[in-house]
Structure 1
Amino acid sequence: MIRCIAIDDEAYASAIIATFVNKTPFLELICTTTDPFKGLKMVQDGEVDLVFLDIQMPELSGIQFLKICGDRCKVILTTAYSEYALAGFDLDAVDYLLKPISYERFYKAVAKAQILLEVPRVVESTVTAVSSVPANDFMFIKGDAKNRFIKVNYQDILYVEGMRNYLSISTKQNERIVVYQTLRELENQLPHPPFYRVHKSYIISIEHIKMVEGNSIQIGDQFIPISETYRDEFFKVLKD
């Protein structure tokens, strides 16, 4: 999880960012504050990975904040004034969000931050084609009660989100089926194609992709990040 704080001298602006953070699976909101010095101390104490930072603040501007915090964290600037964009990028801001901010634009920015923050690890490709075709076009998932099993058709699955020891399976019927199972276990059950791992927390069905742009996949109204680990293999699958 990416630990986030939102700093803005207008509390309602931070509240909007907080709403967006809370609906994004790989982000964790630590706090919102109107006090840039409080936020700066949290950054210096190593409590924060990503800061959503307003530029025009009376006591300490966002540009001054960026200069002080250096490379201790990643910063996404949020402001109503576009003329500060160049200064922000010169100080290695991840992105620049112009108010009013849409969730789609917010997601693009945090997906970029996620890639920059991702810890390099050994690449273990899980996008390997399976030559054998599954005998059935459905599977049974163990439910949340004893001796309860849920039948799920493969063609109905849009994507699967891992949540520690639980999974959330989103279907085209707008259902969310929550089961006690790891993403790795389910990945071994699903046929490849159409299912591919694109992130440590996501498996998607390529049959339901609406659009791929940059490092995110749109399925329905959901935007799903593509991590660096799975990026090359996933785009190879798309091209093939």
Structure 2
Amino acid sequence: MKIRCIVIDDERLAREYIINYIAKIPQLELLGDFNSPLKAMDLIKEKKVDLIFLDIQMPDITGINFMKSLDHKPDVIFTTAYQEYAIEGFNINATDYLLKPFSFERFFQAVNKVIDKFEMKSDNRNVTLDPDSIQTKIADTYLTVRADRKLYKINFDHIKFIEGQRAYVTFHTENKKITALASLKELEDALPKDDFIRIHKSYIVSVKEILSLEGNILEVNNTKLPVGKSYKDAVLKIFG
């Protein structure tokens, strides 16, 4: 499996920084690097790009406005020096948001989200499953999901937060991340209301794992997640 990617950043040194990281990850195939989003349009329109590493502040058009303009949207990992764009980046379903300068470890963590999703798609193409077998089953204190050709039992107490990615969700637990076919809306309706809260169109979190709220950024188990405007009042009630 190769994930075809491009780098878009108006600073040459920033592009070289990311290109060096890409070369260390065998699942990534670099198709090119560009100093303007407009120069990458032809390649993206041909639907040959799976993943974009995209700066936000650029002279011609911002990375966020560029992604909004695309009909066919590849996965995107924003790379920027400006933390204030984080919430808007997540609002257009960015896979991750890297604040410059970032380490290879943090870069690899972001790329792994894309790798997990592509591996899940590959498994689903190669295996025929009965529709009932891929549904998430929710009991009183746990749920079961099918992922990686296995059945997983996930205790509610072990869930830190749940991340929605189109038709997939990733369960972030104490010990690992599990990506499966599931609906974030169905999970929101089925999970215990006292124990879990929807904070964003892409996130459900465990109430007991919430550490702090600063502006529209919620810290959950040492991970910072955006709070959507329509969910802010419900989140504030947790803090009394």
Q: TM-score, normalised by structure 1?
A: 0.52
Cα offsets for 1:128-185 (capped at 9, x unmatched) = xxxxxxxx75123132388x6533221111000112222211112x221222211112
Q: Which residue of structure 1 aligns with residue 180 of structure 2?
A: 179
Matches within 5 A, 1:58-207: 65=59, 69=61, 73=65, 97=81, 108-114=83-89, 138-144=141-147, 149-172=151-174, 174-207=175-208
- Structure 2 unmatched ranges of 5 or more: 1-6, 23-30, 46-51, 67-79, 94-138
Native 8 Å contact 1:160 1:168 kept in 2: yes
Partner residue of 1:229? 230
Q: Which amino acid aligns with 2:219?
A: Q
Q: Is the 8 A contact 1:6 1:14 kept in 2?
A: no
Q: 1:39 to 1:143 in 2, by over 3 A?
A: closer
Please state if 1:9 is matched with 2:1: no
Q: Secondary structure at the match of 1:229?
A: helix
Is residue 200–residue 231 contact of structure 2 (8 Å, CA) maintained in 1? yes
Deviation at 1:69, TM superposition (A): 4.8
Task: Report the secondary structure of 1:143's partner residue.
Answer: strand
Q: Report if the CA contact (8 A) 2:159-2:172 is conserved.
A: yes
Note if contact 2:145-2:152 (Cα within 8 Å) is conserved in structure 1: yes
Q: How large is the RMSD of aligned CA atoms in angstroms?
A: 4.4
Q: Deviations over 1:94-131 (max 9, x none)?
A: xx83xxxxxxxx6x33324338879xxxxxxxxxxxxx
Confirm or deny: 8 A CA contact 1:7 1:14 kept in the other structure: no
Give, in whole Å, the separation in 2 of the partners of 1:17 and 1:224: 25
Cα distance in 2 between the residues matched to 1:149 and 1:40? 44
2:92 & 2:176 partners in 1: Cα distance?
32
Residue type at the aligned position of 2:238: L
1:208 aligns with 2:209: yes
AA of the residue aligned to 2:225: I
Correspondence 1:39 to 2:40: no
Q: Which residue of 1 aligns with 2:56?
A: 52
Q: Deviations over 1:54-83 (max 9, x none)?
A: xxxxxxxx6xx2xx659x938xxxxxxxxx
Separation in structure 2 between the aligned mates of residue 218 and residue 231 of structure 1, nearest angstrom: 14
CA distance in 1, matches of 2:65, 2:160: 34
Q: What displacement does 1:16 show?
A: 8.6
**After the TM superposition, which segments of 4 or more aligned residues of structure 1 sit over 6 Å from their partners?**
115-118
Distance 1:9 1:178, change over 3 A: closer
Distance change in 2, residues 1:112/1:140 (3 Å): closer
Tell which structure's C-alpha radius of gyration is larger. 1
What is the TM-score when the length of structure 2 is the normalising length?
Answer: 0.52
| Percent identity between the two aligned chains | 24
Seen in structure 2, the aligned counterparts of structure 1 residues 226 and 16 have a Cα distance that, compared at 3 Å, is: farther
- 1:41: Cα distance to partner? 5.5
Instruction: Indicate the residue corresponding to 2:239 in structure 1.
Output: 239
